[in-house]
Structure 1
Amino acid sequence: MAFEELKENTENIQEQLESYIESNLSYYKLRSFKLAMKSTTAIFKFGLILLCFCMVLLFCSIALAFALGNYCGSYAYGFAIVGGIYLVLTVLLFFVKDKIVEGPILEKFSEIFFND
């Protein structure tokens, strides 16, 4: 009789353990899906904003180049000046890229992954 009860208890424990494992797997699948979707949407939003900003920057750069070219008497000089401005900005960005780019990105994704 004691053996029968022990056998039933072990079967019950085994069923509960299987149920617990399945529940944990479902939870972690759902959590990883949530994190993946949050990071995917954050990247998509960032890309969309970046695309819009690039379009604005392109048209403003062309307008500035034409304005400077008109002022200098040659459109080629205007475009060369705008190109030089971008070259200087690119070199400056290269030297400070760790502080400006990596820090905010790391902070944003740390917030997404670890604040849930």
Structure 2
Amino acid sequence: MAFKELKENVLEADINIQEYFKNSEAYIKLKSFKVLMLCITYMSKMLIIGVLVAMSLLIISFAVAFRLAQVLENTFYGFLIVGLFYVLVVLVFYFFRDKLNRPLLRKFSNYYFINDDVK
């Protein structure tokens, strides 16, 4: 009699463990999908905004370069000054590139490790 109850309890525990693993797998898939979609939508928005900003910056750069060319009466120097300005900006970003990692990690870790009970 005791062995029959023990056998039933073991079988019930086995079924519960299998259900737990199935539910855990489904939860992990859902959580991964949620994080992936948040990242993809965020990156898509940033790409679109980045392209628009780059186009605007290009047009503004041409305007500034031509204006400097008029002031300096030399087109080469106008474009050279604008080009050197961008080289300076790139160098500043290059030297401070490690400082960008921390905010990016915080931003994306909030998406990944967010507590589902809160939302």
Per the normalisation by structure 2, the TM-score is 0.83
Distance 2:106 2:4 in 1: 58
Using a 3 Å threshold, how does the CA distance of structure 1 residues 96 and 13 change in structure 2: closer, same or farther? closer
* Bigger shift: residues 17-26 or 3-12: 3-12
- Change in Cα spacing, 1:94 to 1:31, as seen in structure 2 (3 Å) is same
Aligned residues: 115
Which 5+ residue runs of structure 2 have no aligned equivalent?
none
TM-score by length of 1: 0.85
- Change beyond 3 A, Cα 1:15–1:70: same
Aligned to 2:94: 94
Which secondary structure state, in structure 2, belongs to the residue aligned with residue 85 of structure 1? helix
Q: Which residue of 1 aligns with 2:110?
A: 111
- In the alignment, which residue of structure 2 is the partner of 1:67? 67
Change (3 A) 1:113 1:83: same
**Structure 2: how far apart are the matches of 1:106 and 1:11?**
45
Counterparts in 2 of 1:91 and 1:13: CA distance versus 1, 3 Å: closer
Which has the larger share of helix?
A: 1
Percent identity (aligned): 37
Cα deviation 1:28-47 (Å, max 9, x = unaligned): 11111111111222222222
- Tell me the equivalent position of 2:28: 28
| Structure 2 SS opposite 1:115 | coil
| Unmatched tracts of structure 1, length 5 or more | none
User: What's the Cα RMSD here?
Assistant: 1.7
CA deviations over 1:77-103 (Å, ceiling 9, x no partner): 21111111112222222222222x223
Distance 2:106 2:58 in 1: 29
Q: Which runs of 4+ in 1 moved over 6 A?
A: none
